[in-house]
């Protein structure tokens, strides 16, 4: 089957869409499909990666035009070369789906989250984004969502019953994982690493990284233990919020900003982590959350539907956007109360981390997601 994927930045950059567009096409190409991924770019170009052709299409740098223009060029390219299916990521790319449908080419729309819920948009912008999302959902015959929460929303609000399906995000599993005991016992007593918390993801207001830093700083002083909070992610597009986070990092002892992390650097951070923190207000289905669970790391996360979908009951759940809820949770998990209490809490966290690992290993593997996707598109195309 010849498939074009359209909509997204360079697949080797960090992001939910990019994570999908790196793993899914490679897996499909390995199964014998002819796969092309089209990416927005400042220059035209082409490269090949694991039998996948990657087309870089020049588009304006204007944020309102870039994705739409790149997707138009990609659609024209797909139709000129001929293909069985065009996969559009999110609605701005899918506005050109009617061109493919006029030529009798199958299309599908994939949603990766609720963009209109993000706090960087004002009320008018959020309203426009939601209207556009609804328009795209209603007009497409085939809709794939990366979480059940999104699928349920599309069915309730956009009338997508019978055509919207859930194919969840997935995660790579490490070759081995590090237990709590191994994190500490692998080093001499004098060199044991401090209690390490990690946030990893986009740095934007809805992620509530500022509340995480403030809660950590207060409880660290209150408890009087050696602890550190590592913030990993890009601040390039964060604007005023990014500057706010940098000021907090600079003013709080034990907090370090480590930037974007990839490959072995990310693996090393995860191996050092005692508690993964994700206090966000909204998520699609967080890859970072799944990665933490795949490494058997205990998780503290906001109690929102998509996070519950990922981990079930096996996390320390906090109220979204609540500083007091974060502080209360930190008082519970931070060491330094008594040896007996510390041991009891760490055993409980380990138990839930093991259960979360089993849940992710059962539901959120690339093998499962690729199998679901391939079966779905074969049904669409009839091959």
State the pLDDT at residue 236. 65
- On whether both 273 and 331 belong to a single domain, the answer is yes
Q: What is the mean pLDDT of residues 82-104?
A: 93
- On whether both 208 and 126 belong to a single domain, the answer is no
Lowest model confidence (mean pLDDT) among 51-55, 65-69, 196-200: 65-69
- Show the domain range for 14: 2-170+365-381
The CA angle 68-69-73, to the nearest 5 degrees, is: 120
- On whether both 119 and 185 belong to a single domain, the answer is no
Is residue 217 over pLDDT 50? yes
268 located within any domain: yes
- On whether both 286 and 149 belong to a single domain, the answer is no
- On whether both 205 and 343 belong to a single domain, the answer is yes
- On whether both 113 and 184 belong to a single domain, the answer is no
Stronger pLDDT, 337 or 268, i.e. the higher one: 268
- On whether both 375 and 295 belong to a single domain, the answer is no
- On whether both 373 and 359 belong to a single domain, the answer is no
State the pLDDT at residue 304. 95
Torsion angle defined by CA atoms of residues 374, 9, 111 and 121, in that order, rounded to the nearest 10 degrees: 170
Q: What is the mean pLDDT of residues 122-131?
A: 85
131 located within any domain: yes
- On whether both 214 and 351 belong to a single domain, the answer is yes
Give the global pTM: 0.86
Stronger pLDDT, 72 or 13, i.e. the higher one: 72
- On whether both 166 and 184 belong to a single domain, the answer is no
| CB neighbour list of residue 125: distance below 8 Å, 6 or more residues apart | 116
- On whether both 196 and 313 belong to a single domain, the answer is yes
Q: How is residue 74 written in tokens?
A: 């990609």
**Chain centroid to CA 70: how far?**
23
Q: What is the mean pLDDT of residues 45-51?
A: 95
- On whether both 201 and 148 belong to a single domain, the answer is no
Quote the number of domains for the chain.
2
CATH number of domain containing 334 = 3.40.50.2000
């Amino acid at each position: 089957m010849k498939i074009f994927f359209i909509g997204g930045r360079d697949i080797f950059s960090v992001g939910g869409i990019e994570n999908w567009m790196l793993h899914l096409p490679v897996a499909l190409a390995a199964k014998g499909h002819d796969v092309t991924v089209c990416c927005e770019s400042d220059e035209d170009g082409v490269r090949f990666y694991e039998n996948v052709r990657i087309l870089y299409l020049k588009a304006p740098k204007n944020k309102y035009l870039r994705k739409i223009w790149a997707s138009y060029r990609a659609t024209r390219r797909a139709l000129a070369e001929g293909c069985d299916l065009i996969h559009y990521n999110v609605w701005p790319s899918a506005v050109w789906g009617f061109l493919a449908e006029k030529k009798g080419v199958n299309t599908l729309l994939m949603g990766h989250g609720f963009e209109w819920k993000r706090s960087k948009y004002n009320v008018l912008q959020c309203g426009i984004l939601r209207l556009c999302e609804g328009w795209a959902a209603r007009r497409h015959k085939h809709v794939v969502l990366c979480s059940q929460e999104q699928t349920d929303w599309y069915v309730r609000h956009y009338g997508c019953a019978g055509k919207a399906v859930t194919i969840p995000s997935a995660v790579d599993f490490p070759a081995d994982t590090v237990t709590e005991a191994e994190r500490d016992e692998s080093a001499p007593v004098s060199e044991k690493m401090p209690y390490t918390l990690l946030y990893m993801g986009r740095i934007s207001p809805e992620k509530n990284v500022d509340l995480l830093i403030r809660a950590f700083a207060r409880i660290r002083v209150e408890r009087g233990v050696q602890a550190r909070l590592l913030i990993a992610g890009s601040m390039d597009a964060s604007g005023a919020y990014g500057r706010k986070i940098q000021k907090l990092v600079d003013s709080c002892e034990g907090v370090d900003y480590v930037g974007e992390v990839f490959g072995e650097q990310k693996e090393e951070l995860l191996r050092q982590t005692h508690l993964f923190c994700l206090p966000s207000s909204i998520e699609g289905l967080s890859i970072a959350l799944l990665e933490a669970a795949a490494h058997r790391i205990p998780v503290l996360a906001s109690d929102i539907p998509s996070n519950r979908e990922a981990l079930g009951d096996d996390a320390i759940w906090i109220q979204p956007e609540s500083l007091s809820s974060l502080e209360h949770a930190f008082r519970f998990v931070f060491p330094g109360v008594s040896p007996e209490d510390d041991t009891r809490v760490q055993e409980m966290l380990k138990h839930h981390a093991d259960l979360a690992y089993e849940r992710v290993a059962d539901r959120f593997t690339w093998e499962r997601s690729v199998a679901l996707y391939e079966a779905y598109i074969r049904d669409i195309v009839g091959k």
